[in-house]
Structure 1
Amino acid sequence: MTGQRRAGAARERVLAVALELFARNGVSGTSIQMIADQLGVTKAAVYFQFNAKEDLLRAMVAPAREEMQRVIEAAEARPRPAEQVSVALVGVVDMIIKNSQLNAVMLVDPAVSRVAREDPILRDLVARLDRILAGPEPDVEALVSMVMVSGALMAATTDPRLAGLDKDVLRRHLLNNARRMLGLRAIRDHA
C-alpha cells in the first residue's frame, strides 16, 4: 500500500507542476523535459506517470469533471427548478474558485479546451448544467444569459484584478451577480 501511496503522490506532484507550467507557458510552450526539470526527476519518470502530454491534460481535468458531476447530480435531485439552479450555481462557483488555475489554462489554451470539449462525459455534464441554468427549452435571452454567466464565472476567477479578494467575498459576489444575470433574485445560498 505504501508503494501505491507514493506512486499516487508522485502523480499528483507531476500534475501540480505541469499545471503551474501550463499556466505560465501554455501547453505547447511546456515540454515534458521542463516538467521533469522542475520536479528534479528524469523525463522517463514523468513518462512513467503519463504516456503523453494529452494523458496529463486528461488527468488534470478529471477531478474537476468528477466534482462537476457531483454538483449536477445534487442539483438534479432537488424537486423545484429554482432549487436546482441555486444548488448548481453554488456548486459551480465553489468549484470554479477552487480550480482557478485550471480555469485560466482552459480559457486561454486551445489544447486544454480541446481535451475538455472532446470528453463525452464532460460534454454531457455541460449539457445537463445548461438545462438546469437555462431550462429544457431556453429562449434566446435565457441561452445568452446562461452562456454569459458561464464565461463570466470562469473569467472572474482568473482575473488578476480580483486575485486579492477574500474567497468568501468573491464567492458571495459571484453568486449574486450570476443570479442577477440569470434573472433570479439574490438570495442566500444553500451551502
Structure 2
Amino acid sequence: MPARERLLVVALDLFAEHGVSGTSPQMIADRLGVTKAAVHSEFPTMDDLALAVIAPALDRLGEVADEAESQRGHAARVESVLAGVVQLVVDYRKMAATLGFDPVVVRLVRAHPALRDLQRIRRLLGGFAPDPGSRVRMAVIAGGLMMAGADPAVAGLDNEDFHDHLLAAGRRILRG
C-alpha cells in the first residue's frame, strides 16, 4: 500500500478512536513509525488531512446526483438517489460511522463544494418545496443512513446484507 494511502487509513483509525480534534500529527506519525515532519509534508494541516480522508465520499455525491438527474420521472430519480446514497454508506461504512458527526468534519463539509451536491440530492429526494412530511422523511433518511453505518447492532452484517436491508428500509421510509 502506498505511503499516502497508509497515512489516510491510519488517520481514519485514529479519528475513530479520538475524533479529528483529538488526533495529532504526532499520534499518526507514531502509529506509522515515521516522523511528524513526514506527516506534515504530506498534509500541512489537520484540516487538509481530514479533507483527504473524506474526499472520496464527497466526490461520489456529485456522481450520485448526476446519475439520478439523468433518470426519467420522479420515482426513478428518487430510487436512483436512494440506491446511490445507500451504496455510499456501505462503501464508506467506517468513515460514515466515524466522521459523520465529527464537528471538524461538519465544518469542512459545510465549506466544501460538495455541499451543493448534497443539496441536489435532498431536492431529488423531496422536491423543491417539500411538505412537512417529506422534510421529516428526508431527515430520517439522512440521519438514519449515517447512523446505520455507526450502529454496533449492524456491524456484523456483511456489506451485501447491510446494503439490501438499508435500501429496503430507505424505501419504506420514503413511501411514508
| Category of TM-score, reference length = shorter chain | over 0.9
Map of 1:157 onto structure 2:
149
1:98 and 2:96 correspond: no
Aligned to 1:168: 160
Name the residue aligned to 2:25. Answer: 32
SS of 2:8's partner is: helix
Structure 1: state its 5+ residue gaps: 1-5, 185-191
Of 135, 147, 150 in structure 1, the residue corresponding to residue 139 of structure 2 is 147
Which residue is equivalent to 1:189?
none
* Partner-residue secondary structure (3-state), 2:133: helix
Letter in 1 for 2:25: I
Partner secondary structure for residue 150 of structure 2: coil
AA aligned opposite 2:149:
T
Query: Who is 2:8 aligned against?
Result: 15
Gaps of 5+ in 2: none
Structure 2 residue corresponding to 1:58, chosen from 30, 51, 55: 51
Is residue 26–residue 109 contact of structure 1 (8 Å, CA) maintained in 2? yes
Aligned to 1:111: 104
* Residue 65 (structure 1) shift: 1.1
Query: For each residue in 1:135-169, what CA deviation from the matched residue of structure 2 results, as whole angstroms up to 9, or x when unmatched?
Result: 12101110110111110011011111101112211
Cα RMSD after superposing both structures: 1.3
**In the alignment, is residue 45 of structure 1 matched against residue 38 of structure 2?**
yes
TM-score normalised according to structure 1 size: 0.88
Letter matched to residue 166 of structure 2: L
Query: Contact 2:12/2:53 (CA < 8 Å) preserved in 1?
Result: yes
Q: Which residue of 2 is the match for residue 136 of structure 1? A: 128
Q: Tell me how far apart the structure 2 counterparts of residues 137 and 118 of structure 1 sit (CA, whole Å).
A: 24
Q: Which residue of 1 is the match for residue 69 of structure 2?
A: 76
Q: Equivalents in 1 of 2:126, 2:64: separation in Å?
A: 16
**Structure 1 residue runs of 4+, over 2 Å off?**
105-108
| 8 Å contact kept, 1:134–1:146 | yes
- Secondary structure of the 2:100 match is helix
In structure 1, how many angstroms separate the alpha carbons of the residues matched to 2:14 and 2:37?
18
Shift of 1:107: 3.0
**Sequence identity of aligned pairs in percent?**
43
Aligned length: 176
